[in-house]
Amino acid sequence: MSDTTVQQVPGGFFPMPSGLGFTDKLQPSYRRIQGDSVSFGLVVQQHHGNLMGICHGGVLMTLADIAAANGVNVARGVLAGSPTINLAVDFIAAARIGQWIQADVHLVTVKRRFGFCSGAIVNSDGLVARFNGTFYLPDHKGMVKPGAIGDGSPGFLGE
């Protein structure tokens, strides 16, 4: 891929809203939720990069965290905050400026108070990273501030 080539967002992905706190650092970013299939992605831009000119590991970890938490919530059928208990990411290959990267949820297990999720981040060259996360599933409301995006308003999870 040349330095001037910028890959396009694949079909079926929709822009993430802004106003999501730290998640806004990934903008512009996109999501695709179809049934129980959950994917998040972005075209790597300069502000996503590190000093080596590749996608920063923190961007990859944030993308994995968002995808995994949403994967657990979609499996539960709820719109709720699910705090991350643990997130492990194995970095396999670099993602370059201009490349589309996509975090795909592969496996979700939901127990009474915890959700477990694994998946992978890929680009046009193949596997970039793999991830596993554990999420707390609170039995109360209040994990999302009233009036914030995600407060139960329709449309947040592709409804």
Q: Name the DSSP class of 7.
A: P
CA distances to 46, 52, 85, 110 from 133, in Å = 27, 27, 8, 12
> Any idea which residue has 């998040």 for tokens?
40
What pLDDT shows up at residue 140?
63
- Which residues lie below 8 Å from residue 156, measured CB to CB, with a gap of 6+? 17, 79, 149, 150
> Any idea which residue has 């947040």 for tokens?
156
Quick: pLDDT tens for 111-125. 999 999 999 999 999
Q: In order of start, what are the domains of the chain with their CATH numbers?
A: 25-136 (3.10.129.10)
What pLDDT shows up at residue 139?
76
Nearest CA among 133, 143, 146 for reference residue 62? 133
What pLDDT shows up at residue 1?
46
Nearest CA among 8, 7, 74 for reference residue 39? 74
What pLDDT shows up at residue 155?
44
The two beta strands, 30-34 and 37-43, are antiparallel
**How far is it, in rounded angstroms, from Cα 109 to Cα 130?**
17
Low-confidence stretches of the chain (pLDDT < 50) are 1-2, 151, 153-159
What pLDDT shows up at residue 25?
93
What pLDDT shows up at residue 138?
84
What pLDDT shows up at residue 21?
87
**How far is it, in rounded angstroms, from Cα 145 to Cα 147?**
6
CA distances to 40, 54, 60 from 7, in Å = 15, 15, 17
What pLDDT shows up at residue 145?
59
pTM: 0.86
3-state secondary structure of 124: coil
